Chains A and B, each alone.
Chain A
Amino acid sequence: MSAALELVTRVRGVRGAMLVSADDGLVVAEQLMEGIKGGAVAALAASLAGRLRRAMEAGGVGASVFWHLQAEKGALLVVPGTTAGGILVVAVAEPDVNIGLVRLELLRAAEMVA
């Protein structure tokens, strides 16, 4: 699992990466810089993922494969895993991070933990 997280954290501008249980909102594994509240990010990202999944199902657009929330001081990027029960691969990044590269590494990490 740490190898999967390292794929993401080695990207310049990524401040941390986590594997989160989608159902429980609990941290499965994490590599975070100091100051990031892993438990809070995990719980809230899982809650958001659940609501997004339901919204997408209701909209008839299928399951989400990647989402990116841009904020003033950073970004939250998530790839919902494909395994049953669901693991979310989450990255917390600087605002000017290379989104495409992080997305690619998140997808690779999700494949690795599946």
Chain B
Amino acid sequence: MSTRAVESWTLQPLTDFVKEASVRLVLVLTPAGQVLAQSGFSRAVDVMSAAALAAAIVATTSELAKQLRQPPFAALNHQGRRHGIFLATFATERGTLAVLAAYDLDVSSIGLVQLFYEQLAADLKAASPKGAVPKQVLAADFERELTDSLNTLFGR
């Protein structure tokens, strides 16, 4: 399974998570939808769709929590008959990050994903560049940034 990162400090924690939790697909992204690393995806268009949808879910649930005067939801799990989807956010020095993971119920479980997600979040927090100010992606640069990221993620 291919694991690639735009920001190299995310690679080892993500590789460990994929191996330990036996997840099929993973994205590490910002709440704005900027992808930092991916595992298991074979097409750029799938990464773009998944990142956009994950960012939308994070935005929606954050707003819902605000409406309920609650802190943001820690994690969301959606389970179907054969697959599960896990989405959670956590704070790092790099800013808030989100992890989206899809897993097969035959080989993994929400318990395993949650367990190793906690390790992933701790590893990413420890590895994130200290004192780094998250780079703002301007509308004018958006397409170039996106193309560069996808090229890195798919080794082009």
Contacts and interface: CB of A to CB of B under 8 A. Distances in A.
B48 interface: no
A53 to B, nearest CB: 11
A79 interface: no
A63 B110 CA distance: 23
Interface stretch (B54-62, B65-73, B111-119): B111-119
What range describes how many residues of A lie at the interface? 10 to 19
Contacts, number: 36
B152 interface: no
Nearest to B108: A47
Contacts of B109: 23-26, 43, 46-47, 50
Contacts of B108: 47
A42 interface: yes
Interface in B103-151: 105, 108-112, 114-115
Interface of B: 105, 108-112, 114-115
